[in-house]
Amino acid sequence: MDDETLIRRIARSEPEALAELYDRYGRLVYSLALAITNDAGLSEEVSQDVFLQVWRKAGSYRPEAGRVLTWLSRIARNRAIDMLRRQNVRPEGSWISLDGLESLTAERAGLEPFVLDSSSREQVRQALAALPPEQRTALALAYFRGLSQQEIAALLHQPLGTIKTRVRLALHKLRAFLAEEHSEDRR
């Protein structure tokens, strides 16, 4: 059963469909929350909230606005950032490195990537590795810390215009790289 069908079934309040969605993406949601909050308890809370939100809002999911995975990871990321702000947590330690998402390129022993097959995951890593460090940092601060461009500019003591350019280029390149890899796959 594809993801969209699952979401339609969830919209009809079928708990089994939510269980299936959890089995597919529970680890992704939890791992993303953990990457953002660096707190296992908060990440559990975020994950519960995310799937509850999916349960309630499945009816508002529109396939034309993006894949289920895109929708779900966006909810998860936003919820984790909310939690981060509310707790006023400054994630430390194993939290995603601001210096350029290096930890994304370091595989943790014994853990399989969940949804992406290893080649797709490798593509994302390559795409990130190909970004200039200052663009990676801007992207990481925006995505994993939920900072606005203004906040990033203040934090890094850079002009706002510079940060805007970095954010734009970083995501644009990531997107272009992934699109290119996909089209190569099809050849």
Partner 1 sequence: MNQEHVLDQLPAYALDALNPEERQGVEEHVRACPTCQAELTAYLDALAALAQAVPAVEPPARLRQAVMEQVRPSRPSWPVALLSSARLAWSLAAVLLLVSLALGGALLLQSLQPEPATFRSVTLLGDAAAPDARGLMIISPDGSTGTLVVDDLPPLPEDRQYQLWLIQPDGERASGGVFSVDAGGYGALVIEAPRPLAEYPRFGITVEPAGGSPGPTGPRVMAGEL
Contacts (CB under 8 A) with partner 1, residues 15-74: 15, 18-19, 22-23, 26-28, 30-32, 34-35, 40, 43-45, 47-49, 51-53, 55-57, 64-67, 69-70, 73-74
23: its two tokens = 């089995």
Q: How far is the CB of 88 from partner 1 (least distance, A)?
A: 12
| Residue 7 is a binding residue for partner 1 (CB under 8 A) | no
Q: Which of residues 105-164 bind partner 1 (CB under 8 A)?
A: 106-108, 111-116, 120-121, 123-125, 128, 139, 142-143, 146-150, 152, 164
Nearest to 99 by CA among 125, 150, 133, 126: 133
Q: Which one of 154, 172, 180, 185 is in contact with partner 1 (CB under 8 A)? A: 172
Question: How far apart, in Å, are the Cα atoms of 142 and each of 19, 41, 168?
Answer: 31, 23, 11
The nearer residue to partner 1, 5 or 13, going by C-beta atoms, is 13
Nearer to partner 1, 5 or 180 (CB): 180
SS3 (DSSP) at 6: helix
CA atoms of 185 and 102, how far apart (whole Å): 25
d(CA 80, CA 113): 20
DSSP state at residue 116: S
How long, in residues, is the chain? 187
> Does residue number 171 form part of the binding site for partner 1 (CB under 8 A)?
yes
Closest to partner 1 by CB, 89 or 178: 178
Cα–Cα distance measured from residue 78 to residue 145, given in angstroms and rounded to the nearest whole number: 10
Map the footprint of partner 1 across residues 72-91, applying CB under 8 A. 73-74, 76-79, 81-82
* Shorter beta-carbon distance to partner 1: residue 5 or 168: 168
